[in-house]
Amino acid sequence: MEKKWNIHLVKDKEAVSSLQNALAVDEIIAKLLVLRGIHSFDESKTFFRPSLDMLHDPFLMKGMRIAIERIIKAILANEKVLIFGDYDVDGTTSVALVYSFFKNYIDQIRYYIPDRYAEGYGISFQSIDYAAENNYSLIIALDCGIKANDKIDYANSKHIDFIICDHHLPGDEIPKAVAVLDPKQADCPYPYKELAGCGIGFKLAQAFCIQQGIDEQEVFKYLDLVVTSIASDIVPITGENRVLAYFGLKQLNTDPSPGLKSLIALSKAEKELDITALVFTIGPRINAAGRIEHGSKAVELLICSEEEAPDFSQKINVTNSQRRDLDLGTTDEALMILENDVITPYRKSTVLFNPLWHKGIVGIVASRVIEKYYKPTIVLTESNGMVSGSARSVKDFDVYTAIEKCSHLLEQFGGHKFAAGLSLKKENVPAFIDAFEREVASTIKDHMLVPMVEIDVEIKLDEINEKMVRILNQFAPHGPHNMTPVFFSKGVLDTGFAKVVGTNHLKVELYQPNSKLTKLEAIAFNKADYLHFFKRNIPVDIVYKIKENEFRGNTSIQLIIEEIRHL
């Protein structure tokens, strides 16, 4: 697949120079900081030295004081309280945190995760009926609810109060809950808008600590859950999220909860977990419960005791293996359909429908299809008499808005710019496919259909040294808006070391002509096809990341090559 290389330009040269002098660092480091919106010594100190003191006052969030007052009222009246959350990682970690924290103060407390297939996403009428039948008078909804106006009206008619803790964009009308906590409300003064759902739950518990004079360590001990949600929900690793992620990773790698500890052991992680490891090893295992069985299984694991952890984590691991097999098989089927479809090359979107596909993995399949056919993609299946599915998008294209334009053909939809869910009647599928294609074709720009390789800065190999790598290590934790720095170097050659390792990986020892004699080891995964360029001494341009490689007690600098092109 053709890819375009995009080297980021630093327009504010004065800011780079000023920061370089203030921090006494190389120009490369100063450029990387400016590209991340850091322009001053104080901003750099905040970036490199996160502190829990940097967390914002939770009472700055609109509705927080009312929410805490309602919880205290429930405690004093010995009311029954239900903790409700979505079935994905963000939802289940949110429920695990809020339930684990408040069970120490609320006698009659339970949690509820909706069934992905019987109830669908978000607050359901079924869950409200369950609460009414079991005399719950307060529901705390996490990672959902900001658009559930009809459900909240229904709950009000049954004299059930709601506290909504959400982080998604509100609609035109805010639900009539007792309190709505969502920094994205237009009139919410909370200074940081990008918390995950679990982050909102964390702020609720933090506010309760402050109000009741409880040591905040009682909520900080759940930061391993918060960072798991931050990583899995792919929210920006900036501001307050960076602080929460930094200390969450510290806890996850030193003193995680029993369930997470057991899950980490089963994942066979050989080194300290970072955000990437959470995204690809821990998150999918937690998600698998809601995709294949029931999200409540994930909560059971996240709140379990040391004795229960091995059994719960093993069951989750088996479920994840089933999910992975389904995912790979369905992806193969989807790609085969597209390879045999003569219309595919002429469409600007991809919509696939198979009533036999498993509803729990269609979002994963949509992401995998985009890796091969880089277009806004929707994968649909049939469940309980309705067609439902997941959408994924390409960089800079708002798939949610495109779906919204087709809403007359839908029963339900929700999500955000790059990912969405939807349901519709089976007879509307052909019309929806055509309508979605027309909308995408009329709005998407040609450059959006070409995957972009984002590069921070161009450097020479002889500029890479141990001091630079030590500072680069302090840029972590990485994630959206603070991705691992990506570098570009021109015209590199191999010293004669180049060879294929494993099945299809390329290992080389690189240098640049006409520069100081610097030889750096590098590995390029799944790029053995480029071996002949290095063997024939043909200069190539490379895009790469820099890491420290530890082997038998020795540490060396290694380049992880992501892209190669010959001159």
What local confidence, expressed as pLDDT, does residue 343 receive? 87
Secondary structure string (H, E, C) spanning 437-452: HHHHHHHCCHHHHCCE
- Dmax over Cα atoms in the chain, in whole Å? 80
Place of tokens 């590069």: 455
Distance of CA 391 to the CA centre of its chain: 15
pLDDT for position 499: 94
Task: Let me know: does 516 contact 462? Beta carbons within 8 Å.
Answer: yes
User: pLDDT of 72-102, one tens digit each?
Assistant: 999 999 999 999 998 889 999 999 999 999 9
pLDDT at 196: 95
Global pTM reads 0.91
pLDDT digits (tens, 9 = 90+) for 187-211: 999 999 999 999 999 999 999 999 9
Examine the pLDDT at 120 and tell me if it is beyond 80: no
Percent of the chain with pLDDT over 70: 99
Pinpoint the alpha helices (H) of 235-282.
239-254, 258-267, 275-277
290 contacts 117 by C-beta, under 8 angstroms: no
Question: In the block, which residue shows the tokens 């004079």?
Answer: 213
Distance CA 73, CA 171 (A): 29
What gap in Å lies between CA 141 and CA 372, rounded to an integer?
A: 37
Listed residue (158, 149, 159, 102) closest to 122, CA to CA: 149
Residue 246 pLDDT > 70: yes
Residue 200 Cα distances to 62, 183, 513, angstroms: 12, 9, 53
Overall average pLDDT of the 475-479 stretch:
95
- Each residue's pLDDT tens digit, 485-525: 999 999 999 999 999 998 899 999 999 998 777 799 999 99
Neighbours of 444 (CB within 10 A): 21
The share of the chain scoring above pLDDT 90, in percent, equals 80
Q: What is the per-residue pLDDT for 155?
A: 98
pLDDT for res 292: 63
How many angstroms separate the CA atoms of 20 and 41, rounded?
Answer: 10
pLDDT mean over 302-309: 94
What mean pLDDT is predicted for residues 439-466? Answer: 95
Q: Could you give the CA distance from residue 361 to residue 388 in angstroms, rounded to a whole number?
A: 12
Would you say residue 419 has pLDDT above 90?
Answer: no
Q: Which of 26-30, 298-302, 517-521 has the lowest mean pLDDT?
A: 517-521
- For residue 406, give Cα distances in angstroms to 146, 182, 431, 460: 22, 27, 9, 50
pLDDT tier, 121 (very low <50, low <70, confident <90, very high otherwise): confident
Q: Poorest-confidence range of 244-258, 445-459, 548-562?
A: 548-562
Among residues 430, 428, 473, 483, the alpha carbon closest in space to that of 452 is found at: 483
Provide the pLDDT for residue 60.
Answer: 98
Measured at the CA of 400, the angle between CA 399 and CA 403, to 5 degrees, comes to 85
The residues near 500 (Cβ < 8 Å, ≥ 6 apart) are: 506, 507, 528, 531
pLDDT given for residue 142 in this prediction? 97
**What is the pairing mode between strands 505-511 and 377-383?**
unpaired
Q: List % helix, strand, coil for the chain (3-state, nearest 5).
A: 45, 20, 35
Q: What average pLDDT does this structure show over 382-392? A: 91
**Cβ within 8 Å of residue 324, ≥6 positions away:** 284
The domains located in the chain, with CATH, are 4-8+453-566 (2.40.50.460), 58-315 (3.90.1640.30), 341-449 (3.10.310.30)
Mean pLDDT on 138-150: 95
The residue that leads in pLDDT, 467 or 516, is 467
Q: How far apart are the first and last CA of the chain?
A: 18
Q: pLDDT for 259-273, tens place per residue? A: 999 999 988 776 789
Tokens of 393: 């998008």
What average pLDDT score do residues 158-171 get?
Answer: 95
Which pLDDT value is given to residue 119? 79
The type of residue at 167 is H
Q: Which of 341, 349, 344, 393 is nearest to 367 (CA)?
A: 393
Distances (CA, A) of 96 to 103, 257, 283: 11, 11, 15
Helix (H) or strand (E) holding 89: helix 89-102
DSSP symbol at 116: T
Query: Of the candidates 170, 175, 183, 181, which has an alpha carbon nearest to the alpha carbon of residue 155?
Result: 175
Amino acid at 102: F
One-letter identity of residue 383: S
Alpha helices in 178-238 (DSSP H): 197-212, 217-220, 223-232
Edge to edge, what strands does the sheet with 179-181 contain? 109-112, 80-85, 136-142, 161-165, 179-181
Nearest-angstrom CA–CA distance, 257 and 372: 38
Average pLDDT, the chain: 93
Report pLDDT for 270.
65
